[in-house]
Structure 1
């Protein structure tokens, strides 16, 4: 079914305000089936907007929409009203996670021998560069070391590894932890084309303004902790602590969506 037809078949319900949304969630939690049904219907547009990003994957859009609705229902059932975030902020990673899990588990494609060999060479290059640089290398640095494109590096790494969170800690010594996000961020580009921008944007909005600025400056504008400290009038130690706290919160919210 085409995108247009799926959208036309969506029931027309008004957007809910945060106060009404929370009241319906409270009632649904207490067993009110009508409230739960209204929550589902009023959030179908959100599901549809997320599902559209997974077009051209070899699946009918209507099928992916149904999978996305399962994620929405899980979000409704699991949302904690004590969370100081909007329901949509919590629901987006839950819906996206459900769709990705379906695509991952239903995907019959096997990792080819050549991709496995490339992944092995990448791992060796990473180890060499880590020893030479004293830190985890970026995708661009690994690509240059092997004489292949950045896209080939990312594809081989993604194919050879189990799906993981971008906030997974890869290494930690006496200093700050190194997250997967740090490793894959390209030193020459502030943009992360493979990153789930909508999900991250939604999650960032749940952070206090200062914490949100720190994450944006550090991970999207490639500023150092010293740069951020100067901008905020804080010490680098304070920025480091605030950054870790913000990443921890984002990590917890992302995991809640991935685990479903």
Structure 2
């Protein structure tokens, strides 16, 4: 990074400061739920973009048009570097002036490879051999900043760097998503203040990402999960629930809610085991669901079963009555049909049969109404 700063004509500290601005912008805009990537993956392009934007604004260096760059890449692709300007211009069918500009672009407009060999008195070396490895204190810088935060702010910062969303972090601290958002803003403000107080920054913001160092810090500062086993162990040591809640960095109410959930889950498991062990009855019976909030008394269960049994008896009785009434209706229909046949063959009885048919129709209508009422009551 120091060599890059020198190549673009800027001080190393200026480049790092610009990179920090990009880092703060990335931290403020990052939303793990929306982007579904790690913070470091999201932040690096923004940091590099901020540096490039600042360099463009300062107007450092010579700018080359796209056409000149294309000619330069064609020269390199076709291995024409060793030819004269006239020969290159003839082969690429461009003017001599454009070839000269393209050669200048290849010489000064693109960075050279670190593996590019150079001649030295001791033999042949590469640029990378002369540059060496810069000291990297990124991990120390990140750790120092995390140590300057409160316990809860550190848990939020590490959670965000570890790729978790605000929704994922909120239950761990026992707070709402809005409070996590406010803490995130405070962390960003503290980071601006912290970076501004640094007289000399030894560590550059690497182009390759801060992911390795972030992983180390996140692993070291990752919040401890609140488990029933851990709480019981602390309680056996004589700690109060208030002290245990403080140890985990949550409120006493949050810890109480966790304990209630554990108890409820245990009751449900015991009830499920009891249902699995119970043998099926020959007749259908009513089973009472016992919950942690209300436990049904055995006598109440028996009373309910008796009431339901009585209701089933009433329903069975109504079913038998309906069945008998349907048989009566069928019989009446048969008699009606017989009377109809007689009326067709015996003309003298037509009036009598007509009256009987009216009577049967009335009876059928009454029976239908009666059955309908019974069905509605059932």
TM-score calculated relative to the size of structure 2:
0.22
Structure showing greater relative contact order (alpha-carbon pairs closer than 8 Å, 6 or more residues apart): 1
- The normalised TM-score by structure 1 is 0.31
Q: Which structure's CA Rg is the greater one?
A: 2
The structure with the greater share of residues assigned to helix is 2
